Chains A and B, each alone.
Chain A
Amino acid sequence: EAQVTQNPRYLITVTGKKLTVTCSQNMNHEYMSWYRQDPGLGLRQIYYSMNVEVTDKGDVPEGYKVSRKEKRNFPLILESPSPNQTSLYFCATRRVNTDTQYFGPGTRLTVL
């Protein structure tokens, strides 16, 4: 079954405590990206990756890092989380040169 998985699904943490949200896909898609969803703002892209070792900033990259060491995994790293990073995060994948993205189930992050 084609899947995009994210872990954890829910996380409550405190300001400044480093955290990683993992994303994994089994569809062999080259393109992966991270979005955050906030009320009234829709989905905004944080970072994306065209393939292994190729990453670039999206629209709201400040405070986030990513890495793409393997094709199937694209973790999102918050080195020093702040309350304004409280949000619902989605990982998405697609095959290069196609438009349809497949989304993970989401990670709800609360930073106190």
Chain B
Amino acid sequence: DQQVKQNSPSLSVQEGRISILNCDYTNSMFDYFLWYKKYPAEGPTFLISISSIKDKNEDGRFTVFLNKSAKHLSLHIVPSQPGDSAVYFCAASRIVIQGAQKLVFGQGTRLTINP
């Protein structure tokens, strides 16, 4: 049962344009959402996050939007740069016991920025 889904395995975008990566989730108990970026031969690195009480969080070129009613979040990258080419994982978090938060990841979307 895939609780967090990224339905696009890959995405190709022209440099300078907007990249939009999408993520859907099924469990309404998730209360925090994160995006991780992964380059080949490296571990994932944290990019940006959003609490379930917000609908938007912005950090430089990166903005995450959350639509709780649709159980959908998206990551916008504007403008896209060649260094943004990577695999992006969406993740959702919920508290399971005091102090323990379970993180569930999506399948990942490979973003390629073309010069």
Contact = CB atoms under 8 A, between A and B. Distances in A.
Given A99-B32, A99-B93, A100-B49, A44 B105 contact: yes
A34 interface: no
Interface stretch (B13-21, B40-48, B55-63, B65-73): B40-48
Interface residues of B, number: 25
Interface of B: 4, 6, 9, 32, 34, 36, 41-46, 49, 89, 91, 93, 99-103, 105-108
A75 B102 CA distance: 20
Given A99-B103, A106-B43, 14 more contacts: A41-B107, A42-B105, A42-B106, A45-B102, A92-B43, A96-B99, A96-B100, A101-B46, A101-B103, A103-B43, A103-B45, A105-B41, A106-B41, A106-B42
B44 A103 contact: yes
Given A99-B93, A100-B34, A45 B103 contact: yes
The residue among A42, A97, A104, A106 with the most chain B CB atoms within 10 A of its own CB is A42
A50 B107 contact: no
* Among all A-B residue pairs, the 4 with the closest Cβ atoms: A103-B43, A43-B105, A42-B107, A42-B105
A50 B99 contact: yes
Contact of A105 (B42, B99, B103): B42
Contacts of A45: 102-103
Contacts of A99: 32, 34, 49, 93, 101, 103
Q: Is the interface of B mostly helix, strand, loop or mixed?
A: strand
A42 B100 contact: no
Interface size band for A: 20 to 34
A102 B36 CA distance: 10
B46 A90 contact: no
The residue among B43, B91, B100 with the most chain A CB atoms within 10 A of its own CB is B43
A4 interface: yes
B7 to A, nearest CB: 12
Contacts of A106: 41-43
Contacts of A102: 46
Contacts of B34: 99-100
B43 A104 contact: yes
